[in-house]
Each structure stands twice: as structure tokens, then as C-alpha cells.
Amino acid sequence: MNNSDTSAQFHLVRVNAPAGPSPHLHPDIADFWNSLDRGQLSIQRCSSCETLRFPISPNCHECLSPDFSWEAIHPRGTVNVAIEAHEAVSKLPASGISLSDPWRGMTPYISGVVDMDAGVRLPGRIVCRCGDALIPGTEVNAVLLGAAHNVTIYGFLHECESTRSTT
């Protein structure tokens, strides 16, 4: 397999689903989100001990090295655990602060954590109509989703929804 085959394999498809909230783009994690604009999901690889690092951090959790490079990972993974949110609250109970539309527009939706074949566990929304994504061990693939303010985020797609793919 040559390099061009590998990068094509790691390319994420874009999926039509209701837009969710957009992330806070702190400079330390901006490169993670920028890699999605290039159609890839990239994780930190420690330059010292080669650990694939997640959550994103300025230092390796294994050896504390500050040195790393960004590495595109394969989009395939399996569900570790997932829940279905049927309804979004419109106000936060303690403060009374109103939540913005993205949350309400998304429901019902499935949210979970996925064990990526690459060896990291990532949180995210899972687009699935049949409900199998709620079962641990179900295979899903990382995809690109739209979010508020035209930001691209990642999520996951179960095969039952593969007709939603647009690219």
C-alpha cells in the first residue's frame, strides 16, 4: 500500500445531520479542528515515546514530553458505550440560563464514546437510525458533521445511515 492509498483511506465522509453546537477553539487544540477541515481526524503522536495521545494536551501523559506531531487516524472504531438523548432542556435548572437552539434541533440523538482502531477512545455524537449504535461493540466510522456557525466537527456514523453521506 502506498502513501496516497493510506491518506484516501483516512478521508472522512461528510454526513447530513442536524447541526450541533460548535466547539470552543482554544489555540492549543485548534490543529485538531483544522485537520477536520482537510477531511481527516488527527491525533497527537508523542515524539518521544510514540504514544497516541488523547485528550489533546501540551504534555504526553506517559512521558511528559512536550513534543508531538499530528497524525491522521483510520476512521473505524467500535462503540464502547452510548446513550440516546430524547429531549434537550431549554434552560439550565440552577442558573435559568437558556440553552441555544443547536441542542434542541439535534434531539433525539445518540452520544457515546468510541474505541478507535488506532487505540484512542473518542467521545462524539453517533448518527444511527436503527439503534444498534447503543450496543457496545457496534462498528461505526468517524465522519464530518456540520455545527453551528458553519464549523465542521467530527461524529460517528453507523452503517444503517450510510445513505446520508454526501461525499
Residues that bind Zn ion (CB under 5 A): 46, 48-49, 51, 60, 62-63, 65, 128, 130, 132, 158, 160
Instruction: Give the shortest CB-50-to-Zn ion separation in angstroms.
Output: 7
User: What would the grid cell of residue 150 be?
Assistant: 458553519
Q: How far is the CB of 158 from Zn ion (least distance, A)?
A: 3
Q: Which is nearer to Zn ion, 101 or 139 (CB)?
A: 139
Smallest gap, in angstroms, from Cβ of residue 112 to Zn ion?
12
CB of 79 vs Zn ion, minimal distance in Å: 10
**Of residues 22 and 70, the one with the C-beta less far from Zn ion:** 70
Can you name the residues that pair with 145 across neighbouring β-strands?
Answer: 153
| Closest C-alpha among 66, 83, 71 to residue 135 | 83
HSE-up (13 A, CA, CB side) for residue 7: 6
Q: Torsion angle, CA of 19/25/31/33, rounded to 10 degrees?
A: -10
Grid cell 464514546 is found at 113
Q: Does residue 97 contact residue 111 with C-beta atoms inside 8 Å? A: no
Closer to Zn ion at the Cβ: 60 or 82?
Answer: 60
Nearest to 31 by CA among 58, 4, 62, 51: 58
Q: How far is the CB of 11 from Zn ion (least distance, A)?
A: 22
Name the residue nearer to Zn ion (CB basis): 46 or 143: 46
**Beta strand pairing call for 151-157 and 121-127:** parallel
Q: Which is nearer to Zn ion, 63 or 99 (CB)?
A: 63
